[in-house]
Structure 1
Amino acid sequence: MTSSSPAGRIPAPGARGLSRRSALGLGLALGGTLALPLPAALADGGGPSGSISDVRPRPLSVRGSGHEVVLQGAVTVVVGSRTDPTARTALIDLLENAGARARAVVADSAADLVSGPRIHLGTPEDNPTLRAELEAAGVPGPEDLAADGYVLTTGRNRGPVLTLAGRDARGTYYAVQTLRQLLGGGARVPAVHVRDAPRMEIRGAIEGFYGIPWSHQARLDHFAFYGAHKLNTYIYTPKDDLLLRSKWRELYEGEELEKLAELVETASAHHVSFTYALSPGNDITYGSDEDFTATVTKFEQLRELGVSRFYIALDDIPGDLDEADSAQFSSLAEAQAHYLNRLQEDYVEAHDLEPLQTVPTEYWGSEPSDYKTVFGESTHPDLRIQWTGEGVFSPEVTEESVVAAVESYQAEHLFIWDNFPVNDGRRDRLFLGPLEGRAPTLHEHLAGFTSNPMIEPYASLIALANYADYCWDPISYDPESSWRAVLDELAGAEESVRHDLRVFVDLNVRWPYRDDSPIAPGLSADVEAFWSAYDAGERGGQELDQRLRTVVGLEESLAPMASQGFYQDTLPWIVAAGRWAKALLAQLEMLRALAEDRLGDASEAAARVGEHLAAAGKATVPDQREDGVLREDQIVPSVGDGVFEDFVSRAWEELRAVSPEDPSLPFRGLPATASTTLETYRDHTPESMADGDLSTMFWSDGAPRVDDEIRVELEQARPITFARVQMATSDTTAGDQIYEGALELSADGESWSQVATTDGSPVLEVTLPSAQEVRFARLRVTEENPDGQWVQVREFGLGETAPAT
C-alpha cells in the first residue's frame, strides 16, 4: 500500500502440546537463541518477582487481594477437560521454569481438589471449579468481559490459590501471559485482583509492504511476540509474494505450502488469527465466474490449512475497468462490491468463516467521494473495511476524522491499516520512535488497528509493542512509557546494553511524515551544546565526545542484547552510525586544533574524515524490487536524521574560513541557482543542488522522462574547467539518479556542447582539457531510468579549477 519508490518447528496444541522452545513460560525466543525477559522488580523476600506496574498491556482494573501466592514446591494446576491446551502448556512450562513441580489435574467440581498451592485455569464453561474459587475470593467472573478478557486473582482457600479465568480460550491464554510478567522470573505472585479486557477487537500487524518479505523464521518469532503482548491478528499480504499479486491465480505447492501450514499452525498456537489476503486487482475481471472460481480455489487451499479469515486487498491497483467489466458495471466501486459480496455470501458464509476483510482502492481521506459512497452503499454490511487515515501516512488519527470516515464509507466495521512504522518508501531509514498521534477515544468508533511494519521484522517490534498497549487500552496508553518498556525488553536485563540501545535508537526516531517529529534529540542536544561552547571560545563538547565514542562501540556493546533478531536487522545502521561517529570525532579533533592555532594538527585530523565518510556512504542493506530478486548491498543506511551531515558541513566551513586551500576540504562549486523540469518530492527542492551542502538534496517525486533535466546557472559566464554532479544518497552506491544522461554546457543557454555522459555511477565529473566559457550547465536525460527510479541530486557544481585529489 505504501510508496514503492523514494525502496525450529512449533507443534500445534493438542496431543503433542507445544514444544519447549515455543512455550512462553520460558521467554520469547526472538531472532534465534536469546530469550526476552520483561522488566522485573525485586520484591521483599522470596526472590525476584515482577510487579503489576511491569504488566503490559496495562490491565484495565487492578486492586489488592490481601493474599500473595508463592509458587514453590509442588503446585497443582486444576483444569477442565476442555481447557485451552495452549494456555495449559504455557502455564506448566512457566511454573517449571520458576522452579515449581507442576502437576495438572482435571477436576469436575471443587470437591475433587486437594489442599496446598494450586492454580485454577480455564473458562467457567470448561472448568467447573472456577466459579467457586472466584466466589470465595469475592471476585466477579469473566462472563461480562469483552472477548479476549480474563480475571486473575490471588487468595486462600484450603491453601494458597491462584485463579486464571478467561472469558474465552484466548482470554485464558492472556491470563497466563499476565502471570508470566507478574512473576518476573521469580516465584512470587503479588496480592492482586486483575480484571482485564481489550477495548479494541482487532490488534495486530499487516505484512503489506513492498520490498523483501519477512523470512519464515521471523514470522514464527513474531507470532510468539504477539501472543505475549496480547496482539491477536496477523494479515499475510507481502507485496512481493508473487502468488499473492502478479500470480494470484496460481496455487501454492511444495515447500511454500508447507511453510504456510506451519505459519497457520504456529499463529494458532499463540492465539493469533492468521488472515490470508489476496491481491487480484491488477488483472482481475470482477464479474468473471472464472476469476471468482480462481479466488475461491485459492482460499480453499488455505482453508484446508486451518485459515478461517480471508481478505481481498484492492490497494495500489489501476482505477479502470476492463472491457468485460465495463459492459456489466457502471463504476469500479460497483464492480468490486459485486465481487466482494459474492465471496462473502457464497464462500465465507457458506463455510461459516469470519467475515471477509478488504481494503478499498480509495483507502485514505475521510471526505465523501463517488467511489466511497458507491462502495459503502453496495458492499455487504458484515465486511471489515480498512482505511489508512487522512493520508497514506497519517501523522494523527483523530476522533473527528474517524467519525467522518465511518460515515463516508458507510462502514459498520472500519479498522485502520496504519502505515507506521513501514519504511518501503524510505528503505534507507529505520523508524524506531514510539507510536503517537492516535486519539484515546478511537475504540468507540473502530474495530481496531493493524500496523504495517518495516521491511526489517525485528526492528518493527518496538512499534508493535506500542500498538499492543494502545489497542488494548487507548485511554491509558502512554507512548513514552510503552516505548521505554519495549526497548528494555529487547535490550535485556543488562543496564549498559539498555543505555546503549537508547543511544542507537535516538539516531532513528524521526518519522518524516510528522512535522514535529524529533530529530535525533540526544545527539542534537549534544551537538548544540558543543557549538555553543565553541562559538564562545570555550573547550566544551565532553558530552558529544562521549556520545560519539559510545556510538563507535555500538557494534560490540549491543551484540549481547536479548533480541538477536533486532541486532541483526539493525546492524547495517549500527555500523554506519559508528562510521559517522568516527568522522565527527576526527572533526572534533580538527576543530579543537583550529581553536588552538595548530593548523598542521587540524589538517592531519581533517585528512582522516574522508575515509570515514566514504565508509559511511557504502551500501550495506539488501533490497528486492518488482522482479522478486534479492540483491545484497543495494541501499546506504541513513542514521542521525541529518545531524551528522549538518555537523560535517559546519565543521568544513570552520576549516575553510581558516585554511581555504586545505586539500581535505570537499569541492564547492561556484555560486549558482538550480532548477529542474522534474516535480519535487516533499521539501527536497532544486535549490538544494547548489547550496554547497552535501547533507541536503533535490529529490524528484517520480521517474524522469527523456529530455527532463537538472540545471545550474551562474551569475555570469565564467571560464570553467571542472564540473561535478553528485546524485543518489552516496558517492559510492547507485540509487535514485539519472542513469542515462548527457552533461551539456552553454554560455548563453541556447547553444549547448556535450562534455560527458553518465556511466551508471552516482557521481558524474569531468575535467575539461581547456577552460570553456560557461554560464549554464545541465544534465539531460537521454533514456528512461530502469525500474522507474526517481532522481536525487545532492550537489551540481562548476569550478574554474579542478579540486585537489
Structure 2
Amino acid sequence: MKMNHYVKCVTAGIVCSLMYGNVCAQDTFDLSSQRSEKQDVQAVPGKKVDHKGLILNPQPHQIVTMAGKTCNLSQGINLKDKQDKFAGYLDFLSPNKKGVKLTIDFGQKVASKANVKAVSGAYALVVNEKGITITGFDERGAFYGIQTLKQLVESPVSSGSALPFVEISDYPDLPNRGVVEGFYGTPWSHEVRLSLIDFYGKFKMNSYLYGPKDDPYHSCPNWRLPYPEKEAQHIKELVNACNRNYVDFVWAIHPGQDIKWNEEDYQNLINKFNWMYDLGVRHFAIFFDDISGEGTNPLKQTELLNRLTEEFVKVKGDVSPLTVCPTDYSKLWANPTEKGSLAIYGKTLNPEIKVFWTGDVVCSDLTPETLDFINSRIKRPAYYWWNYPVTDYIRNFLLQGPVYGLDTSLTANETCGIVSNPMEHGEASKLALYGVADYTWNIADYNAIDNWERGLAELVPEATDAYRTFAIHSSDTENGYRRDESWETQTFRLADWTDEAANALEEEFKKVESAPARLESSCKNAALINELRPWLTEFGKLGTRGKQAIELARIYRSGKDDALFWEKYIQNIMTPEDRRSYEAHKSGTLKLQPFYENAMDDMAHGYLKKLSGKVPTDYRGIGSFSSAHTVQTKLMFDNDSTTFYTSGIAQKANDWIGVDLRDVRDVTEISILQGRNSKDDVDYFDHAIVECSADGRTWKALTGELDKQYIIHWQGAPEKARYVRLKRLDSKRTNYASVRSFDVNPLRPENMGFSLEADSLDKAIYAFDNNLATSYKSTKALTFGVKENVKAYTLLMNRPSAPLKCIQLDKKGKVVSETMIETPFARIELANKNVAKIRLEGTAEVFEIVAID
C-alpha cells in the first residue's frame, strides 16, 4: 500500500507525488491527496541502556537474573524434547547425554503450572541449578523460548559457556506482528525473502504478508491466473520457510482495479485461492488499496469477503480469518460519516476479518487518536499497516534511523496487530524491522534509541561504529514523513563560526568520509553491503566535501589569499554529474548536506561581494512552507526547467513561494514556471497573485488574479523591492506546490550594457551575472566589451585543461596586448585606455568575470 504512478524521483532528487505506473491502468486515478502532510521532525525518544552484556530482542516482559550464578554449557546439553518438535532448532548447542539438562514442552496444562500467560507465543525460560527449562503456551511459544535461549547463549554475558541463572516470563502484546511486502518498485529476490523470514522467526514476528505490487499474479493483469511453475515453486519454498520459523505466510491478492462484481470473477477468485491453498497457503488477504472505478464499492467488497469466509475459509477448516485492506485506508481522504465505506465495513463485514489502516495519513505515527477514529467505524481493533521504512515515494533515500512514532500506551484492545511496509532493499530494512519486532512484542517498555543501538550491533557486529555513522546520518525523508537525523551533530552557519564547533564538525565529517571503506572491508553481510553501496559511495563523498568546506572556511575567514580561496573553492563544488549522483542516493539531508551547501554558498556570496564591491545576485528561495527554508529552494534558480522545488506538503490558504533578492533592487520583470510540467500537473497554485515588497511586511500586487497559469510573466515600471512572491488565493486545491523556475530581472545579452560574442549568448551571460552559482563553458572563444572606467577584470574559472589566450583589442580590432592564463584565478589588467574588447580563446568554464573600477 503505497501510492502508485504519481510519485517520481526527478533529477533533483525531490520526490513529489506517487508511484510508478506498470500496475494495471492506474493512470486514471489521481492519488495526489494520499501523501503525508506532516513536516515536523520529532526527536527520537529513549536512551541507550547498559544491559550488562545480556542482549535480547524483543525485550522480555519479565526477566530476573541471579548474580554470580551460572550454568556451564561447555559439556553441551542433554535434550528432553517432550513432544519431539525442536531438536532441529538447537544447532547452537552441542548434544551430550552428560551435558546440562534442557527440557522443552508446551501446552496449556504445563504452561499453567509454569505460570505462562495464556496467549499464543507466550513462554517461560528458566536457567538454574537443575538445568534449562522452556515451557510454551503453545508450540510457537516454545519456539520463541528457544530463540531467547539462543540470544542468551550468544550474549556477551555468556562468554566462556557460562550461562547466567535467569527466569524469564514472556509473551507478545499483539497477536499479529510482522511485515507486509506491499511496496511499489522492484520486489524482493527469493533469496532476500528467505533471509528475512529467518529474521522474522529469530525476533518473534509471526506474520509475513506477501503482496508486492509489481507481482503481476498478485495484481493486474494476471491475478486470475495461476503462478507459472517456477514462481509457484518459490511460493512453496516461502511457505515452508515460514512454517519452519512459525511465521504465518499470508498471501494477498489485489484484484480491485479490474474486478467485475459477477459470478465469473468470484469463481476466478476462488480458483486462485484454491491454487494457492494447494501450494500450502493457509492465510489470505485481499487488498482494495490504490484503485479507482467500480472496485471501490464497499458494499460489494464486504459482500465478497463475507462470502469467501463462508464458502472458502470455513469450508477448508484450516484457513485463518481473512485480512482486508480497504480503499479508504487513511483518514486523510476517508469519508468519516455513516455513509462512508469504513462505517459500511463496521455494519456489514464479518467481525473476524481484520481490517488494515495506515493512520491519519499514508505515512504517519501510530496514535490512540487515529485508532479511536478507525475502530469506532469498523467496530473492531484495526490492523495497523505502518508505512515505514518504505521508500517507494522517496526511492533515492535509505531509512536507517530508529523506529519511533509508535505510541507506547496501546494494547491489543486498540490494535490487533502491526505490520511494517519496508523498503525494496530487504537487507537494509532489517534495522527497522528489528525495532518493529521489539515494539510489537513489548509495547510499554519499548525504547527507540536503545533498540536502534542494539540493532546496529546485531546486524553489523564487525563494524558497528561505521554502520552507526552511516545510519545516524541516513534517517530523514527530507519531505513527507520526517525522521530525526544527525541528532548528535551540531552544525552552524558561517556567521556563527566558533573554532570549537568547527573542529567537532570536522571530526564528524572525517568519520563520514571513512565509514564506507570501513564497512566494505569489515562487514560480512555481502547482501547488505550490495544494497548500501550506492549510498555509501555518495556518503563518503559528502564527508570529503564537508571536511573540505571547513578547511576552506578557515582560508575564507582569514581573508588573506583570494587566489588560494578560489583554487580550493572550485575543488569542493559539485559538478552537475556529482549532483546527479548525489541526488540519486541521498543521505545527510537534515544537517550535513545543508551545512556543506550553505557554507559554500555563504562563502561564495561574501567572496564575490568583496571582489565586486556589490551585493551578488545569488537569490534565495523563501516561502510559507517549512521546506522553503532548506536548500531545496535552490532548484528554482538552477536554470534547469526539469528540476523543481516542491512544498512537500499540501498547500493551504495564504501559502506562498518567493525570492529574497538579497538587496533592494529595481524589479522590472518576473518569470515563473509553476508545477512539475506545464501540461496536466496538479502541483501548483491554480489561483494566485504576484506581489513584491521592500521590507517583507508591506506587499504590493504586481498582477491581477491568475487563474490556472503554469507560466507566469510580468513586466512593468521599476518597483523597489527586496522580496517577490507568488501567493495562493482562494482555492480548493490541496496538492503540493512546485516551482521549476523563479526568475527576477532575468539577464539577457541585449541588456548587459556591453557587447558580447560567444558560441551561446544565452549561456555566456552566466559569466557576467554576478552569481557564482552559475557558469559558462566556453569551447572556442568568449569576447566581451570593456565598460567605461573599468581598469581591470578578475577572472574566476575552473582549472583550465590548457592555458587560455587573453587578447586585448582596441575599437578597430587591433591587438593591444596578448597574454596566457594558466590559473583559475587571474587578474586581467587593461593595457591602456584604448582597450575596447577582451577575447578569451580556448576551453574553459567561467564562473564570473568581475569588473574592477
Please, what TM-score do these two structures have when normalized by structure 1? 0.71
In the TM superposition, residue 587 of structure 1 has moved relative to its aligned partner by 2.2
Name the counterpart of 2:598.
649
Please state whether the residue corresponding to 1:448 is helix, strand or coil. strand
**Residue in 1 that maps onto 2:608:** 659
Match of 1:569 in 2: 531
Tell me how far 1:289 sits from its aligned partner: 1.2
Q: Secondary structure of 1:793's match?
A: strand
| Partner amino acid, structure 2, of 1:357 | T
- Does the 8 Å contact 1:617/1:636 carry over to 2? no
Change in Cα spacing, 1:312 to 1:557, as seen in structure 2 (3 Å) is same
Aligned to 1:170: 140
Which of residues 294, 316, 327 in structure 2 aligns to 1:361? 327
The correspondence for 2:568, drawn from 584, 592, 605, is 605
Of 121, 145, 150 in structure 1, the residue corresponding to residue 104 of structure 2 is 121
1:152-301 → structure 2 map (5 Å cutoff): 152-157=125-130, 161-184=131-154, 186=159, 187-247=161-221, 248-286=223-261, 288-301=262-275
Q: Deviations over 1:740-785 (max 9, x none)?
A: xxxxxxxx999xxxxxxx9xxxxxxxxxxxxx9999x99xxxxxxx
> Which residues of 2 match residues 14-25 of structure 1 at below 5 A?
none
Q: Which amino acid aligns with 2:601?
A: W
- Shift in CA distance, 653/531, structure 1 to aligned 2, threshold 3 Å: closer
CA distance in 2, matches of 1:540, 1:566: 34
User: Residues 654, 224 of structure 1: CA spacing in aligned structure 2 closer, same or farther, 3 A cutoff?
Assistant: same
Radius of gyration: which is bigger? 2
- Secondary structure of the corresponding residue to residue 151 of structure 1: strand
Query: What is the match of residue 550 of structure 1?
Result: 511
8 Å contact 2:546–2:592 — kept in the other structure?
no
Residue 353 of structure 2: aligned partner: 383
- C-alpha distance 63-405 of structure 1, shift in aligned 2 (>3 A): same
Could you tell me which residue of structure 2 aligns to residue 419 of structure 1? Answer: 387
Cα distance in structure 1, aligned partners of 2:455 and 2:660: 51
Amino acid at match of 1:571: R
Q: Which of 288, 294, 311 pairs up with 1:346?
A: 311
2:371 corresponds to which letter in structure 1?
V
In the superposition, relative to structure 1, how do residues 727 and 593 fare at CA in structure 2: closer, same or farther (>3 Å)? Answer: farther
Amino acid at match of 1:60: H
Structure 1 residues 52 and 673, CA gap change in structure 2 (3 angstroms)? closer
Q: Is the 8 A contact 2:175 2:412 kept in 1?
A: no
**Bigger shift: 146-155 or 348-357?**
146-155
Q: 1:52 to 1:122 in 2, by over 3 A?
A: farther
Q: Find the residue that maps to 2:80 and give its secondary structure.
A: strand
CA contact (8 A) 1:697 1:795 kept: no
Distance apart, 1:638 and its partner CA: 4.5
Report if the CA contact (8 A) 2:200-2:247 is conserved. yes
Aligned ranges 1:567-646 → 2 under 5 Å: 567-598=529-560, 599-611=562-574, 614-619=576-581, 635-641=584-590, 643-646=592-595
Matched, 1:490 2:459: yes
Aligned ranges 1:436-515 → 2 under 5 Å? 436-445=404-413, 446-492=415-461, 494=462, 497-510=463-476
Worse-matched range after superposition: 444-453 or 52-61:
52-61
Is the counterpart of residue 321 in structure 1 residue 294 in structure 2? yes
Residue identity matched to 1:554: A
Q: Secondary structure at the match of 1:460?
A: helix
**C-alpha spacing 1:668/1:290, structure 2 compared with 1 (3 Å):** farther
Equivalences, count? 647
Instruction: Answer yes or no: is the 8 Å Cα contact 1:310–1:356 preserved in 2.
Output: yes
Q: Is the deviation greater in 447-456 or in 273-282? A: 447-456
Give the SS at the match of 2:213.
coil
Residue 440 of structure 1 aligns to a residue whose secondary structure is: coil
Given candidates 340, 343, 346, the residue that maps to 1:373 is 343
Aligned partners of 1:590 and 1:603 also within 8 Å: no
Residue type at the aligned position of 1:58: Q
Deviations 1:255-297 (A, max 9, x none): 21121121111121111111001000101123x1111111111
C-alpha spacing 1:234/1:151, structure 2 compared with 1 (3 Å):
same
Match of 2:590, SS state, is helix
Q: Which residue does 1:431 correspond to in 2?
A: 399
Q: What amino acid is the match of 2:124?
A: V
Contact 2:78 2:100 in 1 (8 A): yes
CA–CA separation in structure 2 for the residues paired with 1:189 and 1:389? 43
Q: CA deviation at 1:716?
A: 8.7
SS in 2 for 1:354: coil
Deviation track 1:227-253 (CA, whole Å, cap 9, x = no partner) reads 111111110111111221112112111
User: SS of the counterpart of 1:453?
Assistant: coil
When the two chains are superposed, the root-mean-square deviation of aligned CA atoms in Å is 4.4
Measure, in 2, the Cα distance between the counterparts of 1:447 and 1:428. Answer: 33
Q: Which moved more, 1:691-700 or 1:559-568?
A: 691-700
Moved more, 710-719 or 253-262: 710-719
Shift of the alpha carbon at 1:619?
4.0
**Amino acid paired to 1:456:** H
Q: Look up the equivalent residue of 1:94 and give its one-letter code.
A: F
C-alpha spacing 1:726/1:428, structure 2 compared with 1 (3 Å): farther
Distance 2:70 2:741 in 1: 63
| Amino acid in structure 2 at the alignment position of 1:655 | A
Counterpart CA distance in 2 for 1:687 and 1:575 is 21
Equivalent position of 1:393 in the other structure: 363
Distance 1:154 1:673, change over 3 A: closer
- How far apart, CA to CA, are the structure 2 residues paired with 1:485 and 1:573? 22
Q: Which residue number corresponds to residue 850 of structure 2?
A: none
1:640 alignment partner AA: T
Contact 1:88–1:121 (Cα < 8 Å) also in 2? no
Question: 3-state SS of the aligned residue for 1:602?
Answer: helix
The percent of aligned pairs where both chains have the same amino acid is: 23
Query: Amino acid of the residue matched to residue 387 of structure 2?
Result: N
Q: CA deviation at 1:602?
A: 0.8
Is the aligned partner of 1:2 residue 2:2? yes
| Change in 2 beyond 3 A, CA 1:540/1:479 | closer
Tell me the amino acid that sits aligned with residue 472 of structure 2: D
Instruction: Give ranges in structure 1 of 5+ residues lacking alignment.
Output: 8-38, 42-49, 104-113, 323-330, 622-634, 675-679, 704-709, 729-734, 739-747, 751-757, 759-771, 779-787
* Contact 1:61-1:194 within 8 A present in 2 as well: yes
**TM-score computed with the length of structure 2 as normaliser:** 0.67
Letter in 2 for 1:195: S
Q: Check conservation: 1:577, 1:616, Cα contact below 8 A.
A: no
For residues 88-115 of structure 1, what are the alpha-carbon distances to aligned partners after superposition, in whole Å with 9 as ceiling and x for unaligned? 2121x111xxxx3x15xxxxxxxxxx76
Equivalents in 1 of 2:599, 2:638: separation in Å? 11
Cα distance change, pair 416–292 in 1 and its aligned pair in 2 (3 A): same
Code of the aligned partner of 1:522: E
> Distance in 2 between the 1:361 and 1:485 partners?
37
Q: 1:688 to 1:551 in 2, by over 3 A?
A: closer
1:74 CA drift (Å): 4.7
